């Protein structure tokens, strides 16, 4: 008969137990050693032991061994384990990847705003971040162009409790948009942008079912040129509805847009000093 062997390790040297958390799809964790943060894509059995694949906000995948105390969940150390078949369903997530808040009511609109260039930009932001924006009380409005941006900012009257964020298309060095943006210097205004000629390009080609967005010769209407190159009817409104219908979450968008929208939301909702 095997005799009882007491644990003689001093209490101060013992590792405190940590929770075991099933690695359900879409669970967002951080791997302790590397700091890589992402959502669970899948778990697999390997010769070296179980592994978990994480996808970060930019679509990059990394595989990690499911070692004890190997991950952080909401800042706390946990041990990931393979989910049991038919186990509990993880909380649903919004299209932006945030944890959904069932039954949450929209917050009263803040004084701060996010301005985007056009209606398509506004519809895309609503598609992916709409739930988050309603909870935060952030209103998104479109400007139909930014040629008069300095005057628009002045009319808005930004301040510590009314911050303004502006998302600009084609904000690259030397562009007309960059010159206009440079004329806005108010500390309560943040102007950021993506490199795409139009927000259509911020949707991943693979999500739309095309190999790449076509190059449209200068001097042509870009959206019409895209429709021609792809063999679509030259109805840009219908084309946009087709593109928008293919966007289901942040995973369908390019990182250059994702980061900028998140930056604007953080800026507008920041607590004044």
In the predicted model, what is the mean pLDDT of residues 136-145?
89
pLDDT tier at 200, thresholds 50, 70, 90: very high
Query: Is the pLDDT reported for residue 135 higher than 50?
Result: yes
- Beta-carbon contacts of residue 113 (< 8 Å; ≥ 6 apart): 138, 139, 140, 141, 156, 162, 164, 165, 268
Region 225-254: what's the mean pLDDT? 94
Residue of higher predicted confidence among 107 and 273: 273
Closest CA to 148 of 126, 176, 114: 176
Cβ–Cβ contacts within 10 Å for residue 67, how many?
15
Residues in the chain: 273
Q: Are strands 49-55 and 37-46 parallel, antiparallel or unpaired?
A: antiparallel
Average pLDDT over residues 100-104: 56
Instruction: Tell me how far apart the alpha carbons of residues 193 and 178 are, in angstroms, rounded to a whole number.
Output: 9
CB atoms within 10 A of CB 51: 18
Q: Under a CB-based contact definition with an 8 Å cutoff, are residues 79 and 70 in contact?
A: yes
Quick one: pLDDT band at residue 271, thresholds 50, 70, 90? confident
The pLDDT of residue 27 is: 84
- Could you tell me which residues come within 8 angstroms of residue 187 by beta carbon, excluding any fewer than 6 positions away? none
164 and 158 in contact (C-beta within 8 Å)?
yes
| C-alpha span between 220 and 224 (Å, rounded) | 8
Tokens (6 digits) for 216:
């449209």
| Residue whose tokens read 């101060």 | 12
Q: Say yes or no to pLDDT of 91 above 60.
A: no
Q: Is the pLDDT of residue 90 over 60?
A: no
Question: Which segments within the chain are labelled E, that is strand?
Answer: 20-22, 28-31, 37-46, 49-55, 61-65, 71-73, 76-81, 113-116, 139-142, 164-168, 189-193
CA 242 to CA 22: how far, in whole Å? Answer: 37
Q: Tokens for 91, please give them.
A: 């909380």
Q: What is the mean pLDDT of residues 67-87?
A: 84
99 compared with 34, residue with greater pLDDT:
34
């Amino acid at each position: 008969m095997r005799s009882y062997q007491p644990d003689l390790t001093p209490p101060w040297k013992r590792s405190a137990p940590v929770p075991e958390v099933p690695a359900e799809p879409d669970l967002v964790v951080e791997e302790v050693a590397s700091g890589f943060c992402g959502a669970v894509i899948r778990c697999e059995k390997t010769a070296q032991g179980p592994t978990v694949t994480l996808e970060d906000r930019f679509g990059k995948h990394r595989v990690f061994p499911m070692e004890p105390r190997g991950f952080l969940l909401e800042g706390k150390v946990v041990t990931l384990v393979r989910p049991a078949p038919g186990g509990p369903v993880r909380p649903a997530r919004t299209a932006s990847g945030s944890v959904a808040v069932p039954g949450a009511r929209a917050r009263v609109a803040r004084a701060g705003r996010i301005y985007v260039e056009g209606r398509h930009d506004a519809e895309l932001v609503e598609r992916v971040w709409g739930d988050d924006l309603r909870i935060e009380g952030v209103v998104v409005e479109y400007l139909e162009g930014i040629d008069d941006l300095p005057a628009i900012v002045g009319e808005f009257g930004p301040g510590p409790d009314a911050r303004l964020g502006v998302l600009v298309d084609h904000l690259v060095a030397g562009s007309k948009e960059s010159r206009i943006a440079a004329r806005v210097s108010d500390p309560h205004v943040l102007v950021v942008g993506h490199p795409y000629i139009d927000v259509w390009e911020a949707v991943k080609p693979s999500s739309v079912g095309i190999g790449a967005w076509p190059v449209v010769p200068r001097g042509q209407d870009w959206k019409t040129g895209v429709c021609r190159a792809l063999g679509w009817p030259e109805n840009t409104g219908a084309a946009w509805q087709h593109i928008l219908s293919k966007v289901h979450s942040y995973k369908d968008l390019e990182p250059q847009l994702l980061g900028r929208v998140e930056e604007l939301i953080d800026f507008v909702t920041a607590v004044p000093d």
